[in-house]
């Protein structure tokens, strides 16, 4: 497939690109600044700003699916949503963990002591998910990582969940960028969560 990846220069974007190309897919690697994106077989860097609808519509031409991997803080999600609808493709969104439930009806972000410095990104991500859940036009999937989300190994040994926070046997909620990317590409190749949020963790 041809995958348009918005936010290809980021930590997650780089791993998603690597996972996609290892499976034989082509990646349109979209970022405001493409200096750090290497043009190589299967990867086409394209400079485009998410706030510029015309640039994005042009950048994703020919793509089978779009992946959105950007920060939600300071993002006008309503405007982004309007652009994605015009694209007319399936969209997979790299989400956050804070909107996952730690108890029935209680999300992680609402627990006592949740850090304010994380909330500035986590709350807009939660609101973006709520907006998606109320929308009937966009073909979307939102993949939330576990709490601790960073560079690590590509093990292929992880679990999937829906709206509940996943915790490993060691009591930690974590997933590597590399294994997250496997789950995302699996969903692209074999959709099982259309119009839904799901999560991945050890």
Residue 159, classified by CB atoms within 10 Å of its CB into exposed (0-12), middle (13-18) or buried (19+), is middle
pLDDT digits (tens, 9 = 90+) for 95-113: 999 999 999 999 999 999 9
What is the CB neighbour count within 10 angstroms for residue 169? 6
Report all structural domains of the chain as residue ranges with CATH numbers, in order of start.
2-201 (3.40.50.720)
Average pLDDT over residues 55-68: 97
SS3 content of the chain, % helix, strand, coil (to 5): 30, 25, 45
> Quick check: 25 and 2 in contact, CB under 8 A?
yes
Residue 192: CB atoms within 10 A of its CB come to 10
What's residue 141's pLDDT? 98
The pLDDT tens digits of the residues spanning 121-154 come to 999 999 999 999 999 999 999 999 999 999 999 9
Dihedral through CA 139, CA 130, CA 145, CA 160, nearest 10?
Answer: -60
Handedness of CA 179, 182, 161, 155 (dihedral sign): negative
Using one digit for the tens of pLDDT, what is the confidence trace for 174-202?
Answer: 999 999 999 999 999 999 999 999 999 99
- What pTM, to 2 d.p., does this model score? 0.96
């Amino acid at each position: 497939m041809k995958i348009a990846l918005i936010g290809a220069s980021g930590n997650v974007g780089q791993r998603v690109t690597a996972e996609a190309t290892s499976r034989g897919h082509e990646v349109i690697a979209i970022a405001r600044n493409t200096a750090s994106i290497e043009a190589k077989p299967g990867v086409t860097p394209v400079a485009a700003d998410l706030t510029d609808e015309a640039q994005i519509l042009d950048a994703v031409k020919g793509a089978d699916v779009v992946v959105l991997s950007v920060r939600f803080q300071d993002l006008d999600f309503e405007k982004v949503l309007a652009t994605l609808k015009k694209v007319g493709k399936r969209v997979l969104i790299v989400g956050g963990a804070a909107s996952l439930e730690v108890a029935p009806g209680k999300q992680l972000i609402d627990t006592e002591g949740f850090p304010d410095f994380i909330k500035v990104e986590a709350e807009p991500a939660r609101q973006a998910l709520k907006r998606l859940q109320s929308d009937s036009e966009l073909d979307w999937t939102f993949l939330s990582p576990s709490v601790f989300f960073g560079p690590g190994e590509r093990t292929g040994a992880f679990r999937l969940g829906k709206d509940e926070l996943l915790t490993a046997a060691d009591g930690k909620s974590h997933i590597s960028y590399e294994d997250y990317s496997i789950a995302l590409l699996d969903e692209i190749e074999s959709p099982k969560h259309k119009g839904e949020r799901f999560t991945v963790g050890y």
